[in-house]
């Protein structure tokens, strides 16, 4: 139970923090705290989708599931912000947050569930 909760919640928190810091240092966005907190709404939702997808693909190998989740993260992140804002810079931002969250999800799952091969 605790491991599953860590896999579900740690990647969005770490991913939002890391991406917001990088975005702030790169582009100098001043309301970085606001963006970081608001991005949690999307990254927690994305992590929920990744968790549900992983569970539903139980007939596939773990490696195939990891590859699928790593591909889906940036696609969904970019699509969500493209639909909401219709601006390419925000689409790239969503893809960046989605890719980071998906990569951290896979790493966290692999670290906490080493018995799954």
pLDDT for 37 equals 79
Full 3-state SS string of 15-36: HHHHHHHHHHHHHCCCCHHHHH
> What distance in Å separates the CA atoms of residue 61 and residue 74, rounded to the nearest whole number?
21
Q: How far is CA 94 from the centre of its chain?
A: 9
pLDDT for 30 equals 66
Mean pLDDT by 10 residues, the chain (117 residues): 90 90 78 77 94 96 96 96 91 93 96 86
CB 75 within 8 A of CB 95: yes
pLDDT for 22 equals 85
- Picking from 1, 24, 17, 5, the residue whose alpha carbon sits closest to that of residue 97 is 17
> What distance in Å separates the CA atoms of residue 17 and residue 21, rounded to the nearest whole number?
6
pLDDT for 28 equals 75
pLDDT for 96 equals 93
pLDDT for 19 equals 87
């Amino acid at each position: 139970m605790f491991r599953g909760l860590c896999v579900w919640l740690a990647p969005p928190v770490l991913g939002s923090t890391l991406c917001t810091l990088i975005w702030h240092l790169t582009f100098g966005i001043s309301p970085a705290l606001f963006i970081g907190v608001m991005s949690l709404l999307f990254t927690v939702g994305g992590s929920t989708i990744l968790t549900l997808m992983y569970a539903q693909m139980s007939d596939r190998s773990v490696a195939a599931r990891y590859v699928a989740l790593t591909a889906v993260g940036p696609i969904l992140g970019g699509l969500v912000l493209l639909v909401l804002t219709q601006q390419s810079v925000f689409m790239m931002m969503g893809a960046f947050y989605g890719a980071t969250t998906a990569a951290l999800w896979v790493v966290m799952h692999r670290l906490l569930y080493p018995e799954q091969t």
